[in-house]
A and B are shown apart, each in its own frame.
Chain A
């Protein structure tokens, strides 16, 4: 009995620093966001007294709805492209010899040691009207002189894929490493076409990796701010830009909080869905 209680005192002591810090600087700030979303703004950029639903009512304006819809489709499209590219790469990395595997993994990770802003800036330069890609495409006659590659939703998708692709490759590769490739040979022996075997045996086999990868790109994409800020322009704006505008341009903190509440809730939905899927799928397997 004394041993038990000494153990639990020690547990609380060791857990206390992080519990304290994260409660103070993570949980409580999140509660403040929810509370301030229900406060009126005062004209001096501060928070007024009393309570109101107005900050949420004004979210129904068409301006916000367009941006919300764009945020969703940009995130879905970016996640889909990432998974589409990462699945064959994960497959390749799991099958190639150890020496090449190490080299390729290194080559995939190295560019992402560079600063996030610098990478986005590099794309801004590349996609610029005077930049290399525009020149090549114009020379090949694929785009007219007036077409802009920069400042639209397409450039946001491109840079989002660029930023998050490594984070989708790694979990898919980790899952593919554990996949039993003899299953593919068996499927081929039984007459499956190569793509059939890939789609119906390999992809379901690395399901957990695919779901993790999906979260790694979809959730940060929903909260994207700096990518659309630098390469998006007005026609590439996302929810994150709206939050930043309310904070930095018109200093309306309650409105910014209301937008953040919507973002928090829209992130919880896919997160819980994936957790649920992973749990549901696991049970029958653990019986085997």
Chain B
């Protein structure tokens, strides 16, 4: 039976669609022209200019700071959540717990942003880096919990039972057996939390105060008011950083196995 070529053609067309804007953006970042109108020669001028923008560096520092702390806290809370969801799966409390962890994944970002803003305004917390940190931990918990939970569900439970049968106490089992087996899940969850935190714009925008600019907020105001070639250059750098990070983490996880 001859198979239709249609699915293959759709797949290729969609891949073209996915890469077209990104490739044009990278090419334009090396374009000497100020406007997007045609190629006027190769140039690194936009990258040079980028280095003389202190606000970008300040924003990048803020983003990094928030991402590190949000990752650390959400990793702890998300992992305990996953362990609870896995070990006591059938209880009524865990059914509620699962719903609570799952909901932030479904709710559109703008709703999370506005509801946190309402909380901070009503309670009278000053908006700034700290409120951004609280918001980031909130959405990262769910992603970490789901990643670690998926790893837990692939586990061979009998290993833990064996440890306990051999006389290991609860803490010893956790530290010597559970955590080492969970490590790849923790690394994956941590990386996910870190990327989500570094990348988030919508929620951050709602709970950021004056002076607490993160990199995506800076990129946004450049898109709205700045010069396009500068954003092209910044985007290309961000792209390169993400690709290197992901490629490195994949390489690491491959050699581990």
Residues of chain B from 18 to 69 with CB closer than 8 A to chain A in the complex: 18-22, 24-25, 28, 35-37
B181 within 8 A of A: no
A194–B72 Cα distance when bound, in Å, is 52
Determine whether A21 belongs to the interface, using a CB cutoff of 8 Å to chain B: yes
A107 in complex: contacting residue of B15, B104, B231, CB < 8 Å: B15
Check if B81 sits within 8 Å of A15, measured CB to CB. yes
Is there contact, CB below 8 Å, between A115 and B100? Answer: no
Q: Which residues from chain A contact B110 at a C-beta distance below 8 Å?
A: 223, 225, 240, 243-244, 260, 263
A36 engages B122 (CB within 8 Å)? yes
Interface of B is mostly: helix
Q: From known contacts A18-B141, A89-B10, A223-B109, infer whether A125 and B21 are also in contact, taking CB-CB under 8 Å.
A: yes
Q: Is A72 interfacial (CB-CB < 8 Å)? A: no
The smallest beta-carbon distance between A278 and chain B, in angstroms, is: 14
A219 lies within 8 A of chain B by Cβ: yes
Residues of B within 8 A of A88 (CB): 6-7, 10-11
- What string of 1s and 0s marks CB contacts (under 8 Å) between A219-249 and chain B? 1101111100010000000001001100100
Also in contact, A257 and B118, with CB within 8 A (given A15-B93, A111-B22)? yes
Contacts of B109 in A (CB 8 A): 220, 223, 225
Given A124-B223, A126-B24, check contact A22 B104 (CB 8 Å). Answer: yes
Instruction: Determine the chain A residues whose CB is within 8 A of the CB of B22 once the complex forms.
Output: 111, 114, 119, 122
A17 to B101, CA, bound (A): 12
Tally of chain B residues near chain A (CB < 8 A) = 78
Whether A149 is near chain B, meaning CB under 8 Å from some CB there, is: no
Is the beta-carbon distance between A22 and B100 smaller than 8 angstroms?
yes
Q: Contact at A116–B201, with CB atoms within 8 Å?
A: yes
Across the two chains, which residue of chain B brings its CB closest to A20?
B77
A250 contacts the other chain (CB 8 A): no
B154 smallest CB distance to A (angstroms) = 16
Q: Are A92 and B83 neighbours in the complex by a CB distance under 8 Å?
A: no
Select A115's contact among B36, B77, B106, B199, beta carbons within 8 Å.
Answer: B199
CB pair A17–B11 under 8 Å, yes or no, is no
The 0/1 profile, CB within 8 Å of B marked 1, for residues 8-21 of chain A is: 00011011011101
Partner of A113, one of B10, B94, B246: B246
- Which chain B residues lie closer than 8 Å to A244 at the CB level? 110
| Closest beta carbon of chain B to A53's beta carbon, Å | 18
Known: A12-B93, A18-B97, A19-B100. A118 touches B25 (CB 8 A): yes
B219 touching A118, Cβ below 8 Å: yes
Q: Does A70 contact B (CB under 8 A)?
A: no
Interfacial residues of chain A within 108-165, with CB under 8 A of chain B in the complex: 108, 110-111, 113-119, 121-126, 128, 130-132, 162, 165
* A-B pairs with beta carbons under 8 Å apart, 14 shown: A18-B81, A19-B97, A25-B116, A26-B112, A29-B115, A29-B116, A29-B119, A89-B7, A92-B11, A114-B242, A117-B216, A130-B36, A253-B117, A263-B111
Known: A92-B10, A130-B36. 12 other contacts (CB 8 A): A15-B84, A18-B84, A18-B141, A21-B137, A21-B138, A30-B111, A108-B18, A118-B219, A125-B36, A128-B36, A223-B110, A257-B118
Binding site for A on B (CB under 8 A): 1, 3-4, 6-8, 10-11, 14-15, 17-22, 24-25, 28, 35-37, 76-78, 80-81, 83-84, 87-88, 91, 93-94, 97, 100-101, 103-104, 106-112, 114-119, 121-122, 134-135, 137-138, 141, 145, 195, 199, 201-202, 206, 216, 219-220, 223, 228, 231-232, 235, 238-239, 242-243, 246
Nearest first, the 10 A-B pairs at minimum CB distance are: A223-B108, A122-B21, A18-B81, A29-B115, A92-B7, A88-B7, A29-B119, A14-B84, A15-B84, A118-B235
